[in-house]
């Protein structure tokens, strides 16, 4: 029987794998130190709000149904109006799009559908003119199989590019098992007949893994990163970077890593930190840039090694524990029908706050291009609650002590499209998982139902600009269906409404930007066991703020023992804020305490 590789279970297992973090000295060497605020370790990337754009779905300028760079350029004033500081663009490099740009065939060119290098240069200029910074995706665990390096590598065993990838000659027999994310058979080894050998691909067959052991590969990657920094970009978000280091003798995985545990093994190559230090030395240290790892498989025990300043590796990472909450173990991305437990949610986010309380710096996100829409997954997208719960989640994200990564469209309260049929999906993950379940005679209907909540395409539907045809995203035929609720949920409508999700987001961003207490203030969880309300304080320089969030459709009480009669309401998602700790459904409140 084919075992479903459940990365959700994997992330849940992270929790079991944790040991407590080391304590130590505070950060030194801070460029913004000793300013009038008296806050140590100030950095622009700690104070930034990052806005993520999925270029394929943001704005199509030429009517071919696919978003592009000119489209993004035409919307820079909108992005600026949000108050955000940094734009993270998903990959825009040349790609045959087996995995929507995460399969790169030329790292120094722009994807044809997205435009040209001139378009890129003027987009970057437009961002910088508006004081917006640009973070690019760095996808270097693997390339596309159509990259010139791989074309060469597969020609012969003696080709100079052979060792750019991981090969296993077939006369040695089958290599020991490695799991693949997007492969119909979960097999990360693909047999390639020209040289009678298998190559390694942790993701799709068209995403062969690069061999970081080879110093030439590292040189090529560092040169390429320098090329983009010389163009003026401000940082990189590093795709699955923790899995670049492999034991290239490819031993069989220890029994303790079998099944769902297999992915932990991918984080155990041993040289990750050496490679990142080399990258820091060769590239990152030369620029005032930001770097953030997609922290796949990183635990509270290993996080510090990647992000503490004295390590000279990266600035930040994002963990997967939060987004794994509420899924059933052993099933592919399937929600527990009872939903998730707020207690667990609080526990995970409080724990990750404490990890970085004294050293390093965290990130926070509730959605991205790999996750469903924030409001569907963590709030409530029923018509009565969509706006309120979406504002409540925005309040949470922007009031935690970590750099917030906010996914474009969430500021409108966009929600999951929930396709009924596999034919509507475009994502290789959904399509290949469907094939896998069909092959093994599994329950396809159950899978499709689960995908309505968890599929990645839910967050990739076209951006909703206005109520014109195709939500103003394209004049052509969109590459992925537009959510039919675009007639109500769109930028144009929300601009007109002072109470819209959009305007709430702007207010909340402004509150964070104007009050460093929301960035740096010490976080303390209150009323831990409360199953309905999430309460915490933030404290800085003798000031104290209180955040109260009702995660339910009922009125609920925060039991915090704080007299709120003299507290000042700094933001509320209802017109008439509560003053007695009793919160209306999905109410979100931030108070300044006297």
Of ligand TEU, Ca ion, none, which one sits near residue 246, judging by CB under 5 to 8 A according to partner kind? Answer: none
C-alpha span between 309 and 359 (Å, rounded):
8
Distance of CA 129 to the CA centre of its chain: 26
The pairing of beta strand 133-138 with beta strand 235-238: parallel
Q: How far apart are CA 144 and CA 151, in angstroms?
A: 10
- Which helix (H) or strand (E) segment is 397 a member of? helix 386-397
Active site residue 514: no
- Cα 543 to Cα 264: distance, rounded to the nearest angstrom: 42
| Least Å from the CB of residue 181 to ligand TEU | 5
Which residue, 428 or 546, has its beta carbon nearer to ligand TEU? Answer: 428
Considering only 99, 183, 234, 353, the residue that binds ligand TEU (CB under 6 A) is: 99
Determine which one of 99, 103, 137, 239 is catalytic: 239
Instruction: For residue 203, state whether it binds ligand TEU (rule: CB under 6 A).
Output: yes
Interstrand relation of 556-557 and 582-583 (parallel, antiparallel or unpaired): antiparallel
Using CB distances below 5 to 8 A depending on partner kind, what does residue 60 bind out of Ca ion, ligand TEU, none?
Ca ion
Q: Which stretch binds Ca ion (CB under 5 A): 64-72, 219-227, 450-458, 499-507?
A: 64-72
When binding is defined by CB under 6 A, the residue of 51, 54, 58, 102 that contacts ligand TEU is: 102
- The verdict on whether 239 is a catalytic residue reads yes
CA distance 447 to 421: 11
Q: Which does 228 bind (CB under 5 to 8 A by kind): Ca ion, ligand TEU, none?
A: none
List binders of ligand TEU among 409-468 (CB under 6 A). 429, 456
Closest approach of ligand TEU to the CB of residue 324, in Å? 10
Measure CA 61 to chain center.
Answer: 26
- Residue 239, contacted partner among ligand TEU, Ca ion, none, CB below 5-8 A by kind: ligand TEU
Q: Does 68 bind Ca ion (CB under 5 A)?
A: yes
Tokens describing residue 470: 């195709």
Do residues 139 and 104 lie in contact, with contact meaning Cβ atoms separated by under 8 Å? yes
* 270 alpha carbon, distance to own chain's centre: 25
Task: Verify binding: residue 119, Ca ion, rule CB under 5 A.
Answer: no
Considering 294, 427, 429, 457, which one is annotated as catalytic?
294
Residue 363 · residue 318 · CB < 8 Å: yes
Binding pattern to ligand TEU, positions 354-373, x when CB under 6 A? ---------------xx---
Q: How many other β-carbons are positioned within 10 Å of the β-carbon of residue 429?
A: 22
Sheet containing 588-592, strands listed edge to edge, beginning at the edge strand earlier in sequence: 522-526, 533-540, 543-550, 588-592, 568-572
Residues forming beta bridges with residue 592, ordered by sequence position: 545, 568
**Beta carbon of residue 63, minimum distance to Ca ion (angstroms, whole number):** 7
Say if residues 260 and 13 touch (Cβ distance below 8 Å).
yes
Q: Which does 296 bind (CB under 5 to 8 A by kind): Ca ion, ligand TEU, none?
A: ligand TEU
Which residue, 68 or 278, has its beta carbon nearer to Ca ion?
68
Tokens coding 349: 């986010």
How many angstroms separate the CA atoms of 547 and 513, rounded? 16
| Residue 239 sits in the site that holds ligand TEU (CB under 6 A) | yes
| DSSP class of 209 | B
Partner whose binding site includes residue 457, from ligand TEU, Ca ion, none (CB under 5 to 8 Å by kind): none
For residues 42 to 61, the per-residue mask of contacts with Ca ion, x marking binding by CB under 5 A and - elsewhere, is ------------------x-
Applying CB under 6 A, does 321 fall inside the site for ligand TEU? no
Q: What residues make contact with Ca ion under the rule CB under 5 A?
A: 60, 62, 64, 66, 68
Residues that bind ligand TEU (CB under 6 A): 7, 99, 102, 139, 181, 203, 239-240, 294, 296, 369-370, 429, 456
Catalytic residue numbers? 239, 294
């Amino acid at each position: 029987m084919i075992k479903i590789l459940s990365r959700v279970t994997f992330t849940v297992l992270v929790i079991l794998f944790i040991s407590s973090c080391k304590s130590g000295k505070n950060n030194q060497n801070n460029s913004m130190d000793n300013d009038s605020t008296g806050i140590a370790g100030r950095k622009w990337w700690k104070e930034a709000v990052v806005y993520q754009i999925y270029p394929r779905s943001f704005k199509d300028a030429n009517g071919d149904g696919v978003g592009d760079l000119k489209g993004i350029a035409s919307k820079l004033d909108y992005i600026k109006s949000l108050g955000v500081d940094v734009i993270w663009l998903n990959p825009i490099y040349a790609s045959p799009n087996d995995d929507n740009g995460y399969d790169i065939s030329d790292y120094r060119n722009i994807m044809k559908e997205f435009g040209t290098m001139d378009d890129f240069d003027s987009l970057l200029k437009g961002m910088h003119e508006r004081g917006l910074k640009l973070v690019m995706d760095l996808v270097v665990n693997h390339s596309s199989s159509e990259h010139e390096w791989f074309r060469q590598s597969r020609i012969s065993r003696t080709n100079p590019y052979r060792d750019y990838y991981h090969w296993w000659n077939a006369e040695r027999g089958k290599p020991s098992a490695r799991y693949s994310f997007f492969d119909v058979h979960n097999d990360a080894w693909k047999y390639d007949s020209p040289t009678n050998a298998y190559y390694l691909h942790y993701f799709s067959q068209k995403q062969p893994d690069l061999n970081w052991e080879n110093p030439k590969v590292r040189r090529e990657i560092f040169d390429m990163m320098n090329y983009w920094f010389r163009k003026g970009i401000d940082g990189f978000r590093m795709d699955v970077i923790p899995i670049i280091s492999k034991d290239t003798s490819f031993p069989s995985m220890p029994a303790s890593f079998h099944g769902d545990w297999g992915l932990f093994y991918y984080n155990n190559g041993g040289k990750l930190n050496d490679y990142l230090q080399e990258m820091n030395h060769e590239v990152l240290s030369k620029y005032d840039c930001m770097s953030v790892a997609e922290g796949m498989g990183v635990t509270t025990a290993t996080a510090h090694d990647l992000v503490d300043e004295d390590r000279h590796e990266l600035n930040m990472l994002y963990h997967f524990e939060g987004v794994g909450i509420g899924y059933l173990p052993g099933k592919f991305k399937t929600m527990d029908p009872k939903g998730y437990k707020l207690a667990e949610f609080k526990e995970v986010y409080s724990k990750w706050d404490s990890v970085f309380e004294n050293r390093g710096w965290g990130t926070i996100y509730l959605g991205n291009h790999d996750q469903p829409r924030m409001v569907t997954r963590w709030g409530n997208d029923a018509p009565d609650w969509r706006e309120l719960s979406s504002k409540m989640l925005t309040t949470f994200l922007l009031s935690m002590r970590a750099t917030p990564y906010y996914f474009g469209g969430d500021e409108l309260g966009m929600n999951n499209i929930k396709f009924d049929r596999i034919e509507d999906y475009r994502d290789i993950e959904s399509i290949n998982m469907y094939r896998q379940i069909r092959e093994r005679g599994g329950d396809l209907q159950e899978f499709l139902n689960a995908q309505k909540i968890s599929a990645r395409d839910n967050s990739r539907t076209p951006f909703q600009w206005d109520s014109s045809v195709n939500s103003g995203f394209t004049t052509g035929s969109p590459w992925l269906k537009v959510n039919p609720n675009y007639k109500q949920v769109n930028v144009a409508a929300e601009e007109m409404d002072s109470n819209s999700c959009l305007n709430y987001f702007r207010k909340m961003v402004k509150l964070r930007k104007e009050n460093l207490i929301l960035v740096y203030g010490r976080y303390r969880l209150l009323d831990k066991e409360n199953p309905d309300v999430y309460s915490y304080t933030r404290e800085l320089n003798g000031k104290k703020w209180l955040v109260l969030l009702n995660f339910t459709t009922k009125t609920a009480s925060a039991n915090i023992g704080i007299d709120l009669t003299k507290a000042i309401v700094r933001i509320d998602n209802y017109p008439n804020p509560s003053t007695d700790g009793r919160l209306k459904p999905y109410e979100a409140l931030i108070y300044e305490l006297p």
